[in-house]
Amino acid sequence: MDDSILVVNCGSSSLKLAIFDGNLENRATALAERLNTENATAKVHMGDQQPVPLPANADHHAALVTLIEHLRSAGVLQAAPRAIGHRVVHGGEDFTDAALITAEVIEAIDRCSALAPLHNPVNLVGIDAARTLFPEVPQVAVFDTAFHQSLPPKAFHYALPRRFYRDWGVRRYGFHGTSHQFMASEAARLLGQPVEQTSIISAHLGNGCSITAIRDGRSVDTSMGLTPLEGLVMGTRSGDIDPGLFDFLMGKGLSAKEVHRTLNQDSGLLGLSGETNDMRALGERAEAGHAGCQLAIDVFCFRLARYIGAMMASLDKLDALVFTGGIGENSAPVRAQTLSHLALMGFRLEPAANASHGRQNDQRISGADSRFPILVIPTNEELVIARSARDHGQRSG
């Protein structure tokens, strides 16, 4: 057994791996995509990118075994890792922190599959495959929902009959918890204050988007709910809609399954633009005069601004507004347009710092006259998982 930490992140049709050394420095990453199709592909990054052949229709188990064998042959994973961390999307109310994986933990993750049917089952496949490959290695589950278990009842309850919560667990859970947790710690570090005394609004913007109010290092409100569909406009997800839309669309002949697919896969930026869910492409086409692409950007930024304002209701102070995720870190126009709606609250950008994404300015993009600091912080969910795996794995020993 060597000193490395292996991170396993199984998506619905993808698998991401990351290997960290004992000092939590990243040594290699790997990605398999389009799993369970004839076009399954994989690649490994170890300073350069290397394609890794996968059998047609490779599933998560086959992809994990293939990638581990490749990493072994490349000398990156010469022995069994010290610990393995698994991203698990939904932990329900069972988990408020990462957990060492046992038979009881696996049963609990399986029970939560009803709340995340596309993700928890494949998370369990990754856990089973890794335990088969490394039966003696401590394995740790790190839950997207755990960071949000500090939400107060006024923030997590829906205004529904209480028996729905009591009998079926219907409530707001929140997601992207590892990213928001990392934002809290990194913002505190950059501001030079303890995380326990730091309050921020964290906007994770990518293909999936969520925003969280973090008071004194703890999540107190967030935009995603029972599922990742609630909240902000996303790449292909609608975000908030009128629940009456379900009956309306079903009255037009759509089945419940078709409505679900439409709201999750055909809506958001893709649905509004009719073209793409890639923010860079949307910007280019909007500049060329495409009305649908401009509409998609306008709705995305306006809804984000509304949520930023709403999150302030959960805080008694605001130490910083933080942008992260692929769009949040890299789209200066989105940040500028969003904050143009919030001038009344005193948010002001420094255009040059915003254009460089804060990289030459200690991650700050706020102007000198801004009421609140505005930061751009690259997220590192794999590092959070690796740290949790290391810490919980040590406790098991």
Positions marked catalytic: 144
Task: Report CA Rg, the chain.
Answer: 21
Determine the residue type at 270: L
| Pair 84, 389: CB distance under 8 Å | yes
d(CA 2, CA 215): 38
- What is the edge-to-edge ordering of all strands in the sheet holding 41-45? 49-51, 41-45, 26-33, 15-20, 5-10, 83-88, 139-143, 99-100
Residues in contact with 351: Cβ distance below 8 Å, sequence separation at least 6, in sequence order: 336
CA–CA gap between residue 230 and residue 243 (Å, rounded): 11
* Tokens 């890639």, residue located: 278
30 beta partners: 17, 44
Residues 6+ apart with CB under 8 A from 25: none
